[in-house]
Structure 1
Amino acid sequence: MIFRTLAVSFAGVLVSGPVFAQVTTDAGTIDPAKIERFFNQPGYSPYAGHNYPMRPLWGEIHLHTSWSGDAIAGGTRVGPDDALRYAEGHEITSSTGQQVRLSRPYDYMMVADHSDALGVMSGVLAGESALMADPQLKKWNQGMNAGGAEASKVMIEIITAQGEGKLPKPMTDNDTQFDMWRKMTEIVESHNDPGRFTALIGYEWTSNFGGGNNLHRNVVYRDGKSFADQVRPMTTFDSEQPRDLWDWMQGYEDKTGGKVLAVPHNGNLSNGLMFSTETPDGHPIDQKWVETRARWEPLYEITQGKGTSEQHPSLAPADEFANFEIWDKGNLNVKPKKPGDLNYEYAREALKRGLKLEQEFGTNPFKFGFVGSTDAHTGVSSTEENNFWGKFPNSEPSPERSTGNAFDFEGRTIKDWQLGASGLTAVWAGENSRASIWDAMKRKEVYATTGTRMFVRFFGGWDFAAEDALRRDPAAVGYGKGVPMGSDLPPVPDGAKAPSFLVAALKDPLSGNLDRIQIVKGWLDAKGEMQEHVYDVVWAGDRKPGADGKVPLVGSTVDLPNATWTNTIGAPELIAVWHDPDFDPALKAFYYARVIEIPTPRWTAYDAAYFKETFAPEVPMEVTERAYASPIWYTPGG
């Protein structure tokens, strides 16, 4: 039988075949009412006509290569080209001569080498004659080529000299830096392949104000080489003040028409400066400071290899999951903290303080989403516990890292085992391109994980119902009835009693099952005091909350001697609709989702099994991987 297609154009609409029969009268003429009903009703495919992102894109924006002075001094020989090849899924040779490959390629990557002395130390390592005229650089050349402890000593000296503003003059030459920058953007451009792999352009501005107080920011470009090459990246030789970086960003956009954003690093190493209500040089923050920070810094690095900065257990003793990969001995140079410093270093405290500052200034400077990165200085981005390559080459897999030092500043040490295999950023972008990924970051539709690749959806609104959690397409109902992570709740509609949230998580197929999903709420009470509460929203199994309202721990199936586990506990997916039981429409608040996996072996357990080594009793051997969805904010009056 031959099927003959009839096509009729009516009011600009092409109508054919079976559709024609549904929009005509019995006499065969077009019925406008039927046209209106047919084309305005949902189609059979639930995905046709929707432009929301259907899967997260995985990667990170904080990886260092041999073009960073401290990395090459510490033995890193993997440059930006190989680092990007590795992120694309290729096997490369690490700086210690071992073969390494990701379990699954990334969707995007940003090499974020230090703008200070970008690439210069490769010339020092090679002994270039112009650089060897400087006695300090000649000494460093000898130490780097000696390797081992001597090379590590050079790395520490470079970090210290940079923090004190005492780097040799050849390392601070602007023309040299600009030349190296243009070579860097050329390498990055050669790897950018929209739709398959996105190579973002960016750099790290490395302010160590006051000697090791970490105020680092990564600058992320939306643009390509033709834009990025027009303006020399800012260095700390120009200024160590974040406000001057923000001015640089404004200048870049004014000159090029391009776009940039900045991402502050883990605040746990800032010794109280990252979220202080004073500028680093001791002046009270003002209206301009608040508004400028809010504009340029929409994200915060909540987890990385040098610690997770969600919340400190001493600040939230009721939160049994706050004590996770905490690194709190001091700042970047391991200088001890002063009383009160912790209050200004962690994301949850900053989010609450942001609400308080918004009451004073009308703008919230700490209204940020969450990203995770490694901050690895090896050229190897590694976040899987069984594939962890450390911070520097001396922390790459070996029997020695069971007792080795990751950092040693005049006897103030951080052990290798204190490093965490963290983290990654999932971006809900419509397509794999620079513009789409950057735009998702700017609107904060991102979430951080400690290395796992679980899927997480988080939406807020006013009329989510329990049956919405039965849907197999949470995005459709989430975008249809609410707003996604990183957004503001719309104004309270008439009749609404409390906000509702739809949250869903699907396990990483290579990682552990899910223990639970929690929603963390922070708010200002009627007296303007900062408050917080962690709610268990949905969990695996038939556990019941105790008298304290807490759901018992899920247990553990970890087999430490063999560094393995079974997914016989937990759940592969969790989804729920939750209504805030303590909502007060007069009080500012924020909400974010935290998804916890069941315990699995930590990288230390894999090392112990592989190298037949024994770690000290205080070394953690299990880990509960997790994800942090960017917050959703509520403001009275909308």
Structure 2
Amino acid sequence: MKKYLTTTAIVLLAGNSSFAQELVGIAPDPDAEYSPYISHDYPNQVFFGDTHLHTAYSTDSALVGATTTPDDAYRFAKGETVTSSNGIEARLQRPLDFLVVADHAENLGLVIALEEENAEVLANDWGRGLFEVFAPRTPEAQTEAYLYWAGAFTLGGEEAGDPLADTSLHETMWQRMVEAAERHNDPGAFSALIGYEWTSGPNGNNLHRVVMMRDGKDAAEQVVPFSSYDSENPEDLWDWMEGYEETTGGRIMSIPHNGNLSNGLMFDDRTFDGDALDTAYAERRMQWEPVYEVTQIKGDGEAHPMLSPDDAFADYGTWDTGSFGPELKKPEMLPREYAREALKRGLAYSESIGANPFKFGMIGSTDSHTALATTGDDNFFGKVSVVEPTADPVRFEEQITGLATPDDPSDDIVHAQALASGLAAVWARENTREAIWDAFARKEVFATTGTRLRVRVFAGTDFSPDDLERSDFAAHGYANGVPMGGDLTGVTEAPKLLIRALRDPDAANLDRVQVIKGWLDANGETQERVYDVACADARAIVDDACEGAVGNTVDVATATYSNSIGDPFLEAFWEDPDFDPAQRAFYYVRVLEIPTPRWTTYDAAFFGIDLPEGVEPTHQERAYTSPIWVTPG
């Protein structure tokens, strides 16, 4: 039987001087800190959220059936079960970490006011007319009311002005939105960032921006949102944002989105007023718009197969025929709509005007108008309330674009072509408004098409392959290089990238990791190349590409798949083999999952209906990191 010394025995033994000497330890350095984490200040967590969600406070949402509120949106994002506008219970597999309810500023909360029979709206001639059209509350009345409102907003816009400008509706509804965000903001657990959407659409071309504040109620309530009734010119929005910061002492940014429906205006070579881009414009754009929403429900905007013919994965979620206006899409518009092409052209602008107007990080978000931020293909509640889950053909056939060109069906895009996308992922130390916003500002963010896979990348000139195995991988990366969204300047030797990618624990394995390089060659022409740098299932890399496809385990009839292929984790050390220290360049990482069923395939299996025509039953979800830019020495 073992015997142990009692406390008393220890004390008695300690009375013996020689034993006491043995117990005396070496005194630590008084300046040393035992815990190694006290001085750590680099981002060490990934937070996933949606910066682009609409509720019934958006007039276009409510007039097509949305009844859900900002409170519903926040509760749903936090993991609660919420009843949709059509009476369907909905819940996320896992809560989000942050959310921006970004309702349209234009006639904010108008339908809520009609439901409440708001006295100011009823006293306004235009408002009274809308109320009388809306009063029956029937689907037909909603359609007629939508057309009535669209005549002022879509067709009148800035030129006609806000028909409710003489009411306090804007202020009242903005205050309600701000208060909802305050109720649900829970620092450390969930961040409800205050924001809205500025919905500029000249001639139906999409120049929309989400405006996102770093601040809380005290600052946000000092202003009312700047809308496209005030101006459709992004530079006027930036002026208003500058005024916000001067007035409140707060911080604010705008996030452009949906460039694939801008008919070439999102990344145009001219300003809104038609002037050539100059240094001042470039610097202002990047001051106020550090990130870009590259993927969402209305298509994926990373790359286009016509612009990147050597990229086997460029044709993903491509919306390149439709628009919201009367002008049909033309091929020459495409280079000014897609992120990769804009990033390349930004390098040329850096050379010609000394500043880069398209030096943006990349995120995803939903643009859902249901108040339900659903990005899982097996849990997709659609673009608007009328296409929430149902066996009714409307779910697949609802027309989204081409409404202004009824005589030309080539411009039509229907809801079956929508993506269950996307999410914004940020690297930060804590889940607070301030930390999330700051990650956006420094572009340490990445986009996913809906899953929560994790990606980390560092670039520097002193990394080695052994650095991938370091226990202090992140600390070493920050100390000796730059993360996604960063800059390497004065570089004279080839950048070396350290990359790690980890699958979503509730989703699919990974297929491959790729580095996308863009550069400006000696002739001033922009170039690009895709390098596969890590391949699942031990596939070799031959001529910078994984040898063979990863395979496809999807059973379309049952909408199931297996993780028997692919890898849960991929990593890579990659050194640019074609680096020229005289050339401007950027690198970003794209990670592909193995094939999984699209939401249309899940729907077909669940409702027992046919798959929609013209839509592939499977796809490969993906992530895009913000670039790292390299400037010559």
**TM-score, scaled to structure 1:** 0.90
Does 2:387 match 1:388? no
* Alignment partner, residue 473 of structure 2: 474
Tell me how far apart the structure 2 counterparts of residues 336 and 105 of structure 1 sit (CA, whole Å): 40
User: Partner letter of residue 29 of structure 2?
Assistant: I
Does 2:533 match 1:537? yes
User: Partner letter of residue 423 of structure 1?
Assistant: G
Does 2:153 match 1:162? yes
Answer yes or no: is the 8 Å Cα contact 1:60–1:425 preserved in 2.
yes
Match of 1:21 among 12, 22, 25: 25
1:434-513 alignment, distance < 5 Å: 434-492=433-491, 497-513=493-509
Tell me how far apart the structure 2 counterparts of residues 518 and 435 of structure 1 sit (CA, whole Å): 31
Answer yes or no: is the 8 Å Cα contact 1:127–1:141 preserved in 2.
no
Secondary structure of 2:224's counterpart equals: coil
Partner deviation per Cα, 1:570-609 (whole Å, 9 max, x = no partner): 0000011100000000000000000000001110111000
Partner deviation per Cα, 1:359-407 (whole Å, 9 max, x = no partner): 1221111111011100001111110000000110111100124542142
Superposed displacement of residue 19, structure 1 = 12
Answer yes or no: is the 8 Å Cα contact 2:425–2:446 preserved in 1.
yes
Tell me how far apart the structure 2 counterparts of residues 146 and 337 of structure 1 sit (CA, whole Å): 36
* Alignment partner, residue 347 of structure 2: 355
Secondary structure of 1:635's counterpart equals: strand
* Alignment partner, residue 55 of structure 1: 45
Does 2:561 match 1:565? yes
* Alignment partner, residue 549 of structure 2: 553
Does 2:257 match 1:265? yes
* Alignment partner, residue 297 of structure 2: 305
Superposed displacement of residue 134, structure 1 = 3.8
1:100-249 alignment, distance < 5 Å: 100-125=90-115, 127-128=117-118, 131=121, 134=125, 138=129, 142=133, 145-148=136-139, 151-152=142-143, 154-155=145-146, 158-159=149-150, 161-166=152-157, 169-173=162-166, 175-209=168-202, 211-249=203-241
Match of 2:66 among 71, 76, 95: 76
RMSD, aligned α-carbons: 2.4
Partner deviation per Cα, 1:192-241 (whole Å, 9 max, x = no partner): 110111110011111001x2111111111111110111122101111110
Tell me how far apart the structure 2 counterparts of residues 488 and 268 of structure 1 sit (CA, whole Å): 27
Superposed displacement of residue 55, structure 1 = 1.8
Secondary structure of 1:537's counterpart equals: strand
Tell me how far apart the structure 2 counterparts of residues 540 and 553 of structure 1 sit (CA, whole Å): 10
Matched positions, count? 607
Secondary structure of 1:89's counterpart equals: coil
* Alignment partner, residue 588 of structure 1: 584
Tell me how far apart the structure 2 counterparts of residues 173 and 89 of structure 1 sit (CA, whole Å): 40
Distance 1:547-1:476 versus aligned 2 partners, 3 A rule: closer
Does 2:29 match 1:35? yes
Answer yes or no: is the 8 Å Cα contact 1:144–1:154 preserved in 2.
no
Tell me how far apart the structure 2 counterparts of residues 19 and 353 of structure 1 sit (CA, whole Å): 69
Distance 1:110-1:18 versus aligned 2 partners, 3 A rule: farther
Tell me how far apart the structure 1 counterparts of residues 214 and 126 of structure 2 sit (CA, whole Å): 40
* Alignment partner, residue 319 of structure 1: 311
Answer yes or no: is the 8 Å Cα contact 2:366–2:423 preserved in 1.
yes
User: Partner letter of residue 337 of structure 2?
Assistant: E
Tell me how far apart the structure 2 counterparts of residues 98 and 138 of structure 1 sit (CA, whole Å): 33
Secondary structure of 1:520's counterpart equals: strand
* Alignment partner, residue 366 of structure 2: 374
Q: Which has the higher mean CA deviation after the structures are superposed, 188-197 or 412-421?
A: 412-421
Secondary structure of 1:342's counterpart equals: helix
* Alignment partner, residue 632 of structure 2: 636
Distance 1:415-1:265 versus aligned 2 partners, 3 A rule: same
Distance 1:547-1:581 versus aligned 2 partners, 3 A rule: closer
Tell me how far apart the structure 1 counterparts of residues 282 and 526 of structure 2 sit (CA, whole Å): 19
List gaps (5 residues or longer) in structure 2: 1-5, 12-20
Superposed displacement of residue 188, structure 1 = 1.0
Partner deviation per Cα, 1:95-139 (whole Å, 9 max, x = no partner): 111000111111111100011111122223455565456468645
Tell me how far apart the structure 2 counterparts of residues 433 and 602 of structure 1 sit (CA, whole Å): 33
Distance 1:197-1:334 versus aligned 2 partners, 3 A rule: farther
* Alignment partner, residue 28 of structure 1: none
Q: Which has the higher mean CA deviation after the structures are superposed, 326-335 or 569-578?
A: 326-335
User: Partner letter of residue 220 of structure 1?
Assistant: M
Superposed displacement of residue 356, structure 1 = 0.9
User: Partner letter of residue 191 of structure 1?
Assistant: H
Tell me how far apart the structure 1 counterparts of residues 109 and 510 of structure 2 sit (CA, whole Å): 43
Tell me how far apart the structure 2 counterparts of residues 87 and 221 of structure 1 sit (CA, whole Å): 19
Superposed displacement of residue 178, structure 1 = 1.8
Superposed displacement of residue 280, structure 1 = 2.4
Partner deviation per Cα, 1:433-462 (whole Å, 9 max, x = no partner): 111111111000111100000111011111
User: Partner letter of residue 35 of structure 1?
Assistant: D
Tell me how far apart the structure 1 counterparts of residues 144 and 397 of structure 2 sit (CA, whole Å): 14
User: Partner letter of residue 99 of structure 1?
Assistant: E
Match of 2:570 among 570, 574, 594: 574
Answer yes or no: is the 8 Å Cα contact 2:161–2:230 preserved in 1.
no
* Alignment partner, residue 332 of structure 1: 324
| Structure 1 runs of 4+ with >6 Å offset | 17-20
Secondary structure of 2:57's counterpart equals: coil
List gaps (5 residues or longer) in structure 1: 5-16, 24-33
User: Partner letter of residue 156 of structure 2?
Assistant: G
Superposed displacement of residue 415, structure 1 = 1.2
User: Partner letter of residue 602 of structure 1?
Assistant: R
User: Partner letter of residue 267 of structure 2?
Assistant: F
Answer yes or no: is the 8 Å Cα contact 1:402–1:613 preserved in 2.
no
Answer yes or no: is the 8 Å Cα contact 2:201–2:208 preserved in 1.
yes
